[in-house]
Amino acid sequence: MEYVLKVENLSKNFNEIKALDNINFDLKKGEIHGIIGANGSGKSTFVNILFGSKHIMETGGYEGDIFIDNIKVDIKSTYDAMKQGIGMVHQELALFGEQDISSNIKINRENIIDKTKLLGEFALVDRNKNEKDAKKALLKVGVDINPRIKVKDIPTNLKQFVEIAREVDNDKLKVLILDEPTSSLNVEETKILLSNLKAIAETGVSIIFISHRLYEIVDVCHRVTIFRSGRVIKEYKKEDYDMDKMALDMIGKEVVQVSKERKNTTKENILSFNNVEVSYGYEHYKNISLDIKKGEILGITGLAGHGQEIFGYGLMGLYDMKGDVIYKREKLIPGDTNSIIKKGIYLLPDERKEWGLLLNKSVWENIVFEAYDRQNSFLKYPALGKLSPLNYKAIRKYSNDMVEKLNIKVRDIGQKVSDLSGGNQQKVCIGRAITIDPEVLFIGEPTRGIDLYSKEIILDMLLKLNEEKNTTIIIFSGEISELKRVCDRIVVMYRNRVFKIFDDDFKSEELSLALSGRSLE
């Protein structure tokens, strides 16, 4: 059997913590090999070693052997990995927002106009050829979009496709590592990507596919390796797949799904958008309206680029919103963020690294950030307000309790958030949103990159926040099955407008049609 990659006895320590313990792993040519495990199980550390992450070398390197095409290699940098034909798309996207899509896809592989090579080290980039290559790479992953658009002007869903297209564009690619590649995609977009990944593998490219969505794993992977606590627990061949057993192997305990027990029947609107206008990127949309009921959990979903995030992003100034927005019978000015937060409205965006986290700060600082005004126990002398010194004893106790409740894998609450896995960073964000205790919470993709067990913890905490404090929660997400379990109503967006609102039992076919702007006859 032809193995493009083999790993033997791979181990990694972060100070006293054993992140990986004697990992053995192999990858066949043209194979899609799944890796699954809970947050903090060692998956990200493993692939970061394979891709030569700077952080790995800065923390003492690794032990064990890596073979590419049966030749032992020493991977000490990303450059070493790329030289061996390894490409990676991280869970947290790494694109240049001010550059267009084609420039991001062709970075370090730009086409040069031959006649200008005479200029020595300087030459002119062949933009037309770059754009053609970018278009071709995007089509390989199932997306047709203008490569001249700036990356900052496209939604997170499409950024994910751009990242993958960047790696696929490399004609020297042997091994493609995908860490949660579908985390920002909804069901329809995921089907498109998985179909195209199968086609890419058939060309001979080998793929390491990391995901918490087991139905994707069993659909697309030829084999699956399960990590738990830094060790390989089990390997499954396709004929042995059993999602219940896989889930048990991942978590070590059974996972119970939560759901909302009673529907919100309030007819009172707490927040209304009346014929507002929203602009972002090159796009401008008019006559967008939505009423949000007091105390409800409202789900908003849609295909990539169809605007599931526009209400939260527009209100908080991430997009340009103009028009009539009414909160508890009072007119709001979209974009006046400080005033809106003081009134009890908070946004936790889906792009957590760019907008949701203080990466160089500790876990506790991220959890309590922005919450001092709303949690008097965090202040030594609450009567002094912002002049009061912090009550560190109360903050430490609260932060430790939140870490335990959300199952956040950390060394201690003083650990930098940048050192955590993507899934654990997401949980820290959720912890802050709960700590701020808003009256209205907009939250984007709350379970993105989260393991099965922790997903239910987060959904349960959102349900409790809603039930115990009557918090109005707006979840914009592509996880339709989760929205159906926890939401009172689900809004489907199409072309940046409300296409349909589902507020009772409905057929899956009806919702699928709505995603593409169609209705049952």
Domain boundaries, the chain: 3-85+172-251, 97-157, 269-515
Average pLDDT over residues 174-195: 88
Mean pLDDT computed over every residue of the chain: 89
Residue 117 has pLDDT above 70, yes or no: no
Q: Are 65 and 9 in contact (CB under 8 A)?
A: yes
Alpha carbon distance 260, 487 (integer Å)? 7
Q: 487: closest CA among 308, 315, 270, 262?
A: 262
Residue 103 has pLDDT above 90, yes or no: yes
Model confidence pLDDT, tens digit, residues 42-68: 998 999 999 999 989 998 999 999 999
Give 1's pLDDT tier (boundaries 50, 70, 90): low
Higher pLDDT, 251 or 282: 251
Residue 164 has pLDDT above 80, yes or no: yes
Average pLDDT over residues 358-386: 83
Instruction: Give the pLDDT of residue 101.
Output: 92
Average pLDDT over residues 303-321: 90
Q: Which strands, in side-by-side order, build the sheet including 63-68?
A: 17-28, 3-14, 63-68, 71-73
Average pLDDT over residues 62-75: 95
Instruction: Give the pLDDT of residue 20.
Output: 94
Average pLDDT over residues 205-210: 96
Amino acid at 171: D
Model confidence pLDDT, tens digit, residues 289-300: 999 999 999 999
Tell me the CA distances in angstroms from 307 to 70, 304, 313, one per residue in order: 48, 8, 10
Give 424's pLDDT tier (boundaries 50, 70, 90): confident
Give 323's pLDDT tier (boundaries 50, 70, 90): very high
Average pLDDT over residues 29-52: 93
Higher pLDDT, 416 or 120: 416
CATH superfamily label, 269-515: P-loop containing nucleotide triphosphate hydrolases (3.40.50.300)
- Global model pTM greater than 0.75: no
Tell me the CA distances in angstroms from 472 to 341, 463, 466, 487, one per residue in order: 14, 10, 6, 11
Our measurement of the distance from residue 519's CA atom to the centroid of its chain's CA atoms, rounded to an integer in Å, reads: 30
Average pLDDT over residues 165-187: 89
Higher pLDDT, 187 or 219: 219
**Nearest 5 degrees, angle CA 86-CA 92-CA 93?**
75
Pick the CATH number of 3-85+172-251 from 1.25.40.10, 3.40.50.150, 3.40.50.300, 3.30.470.20: 3.40.50.300
Give 498's pLDDT tier (boundaries 50, 70, 90): very high
Half-sphere exposure of residue 154: CA atoms within 13 angstroms, side-chain side: 29
Average pLDDT over residues 119-143: 85
Instruction: Give the pLDDT of residue 374.
Output: 66
Residue 225 has pLDDT above 80, yes or no: yes
Alpha carbon distance 203, 395 (integer Å)? 54
Residue 234 has pLDDT above 60, yes or no: yes
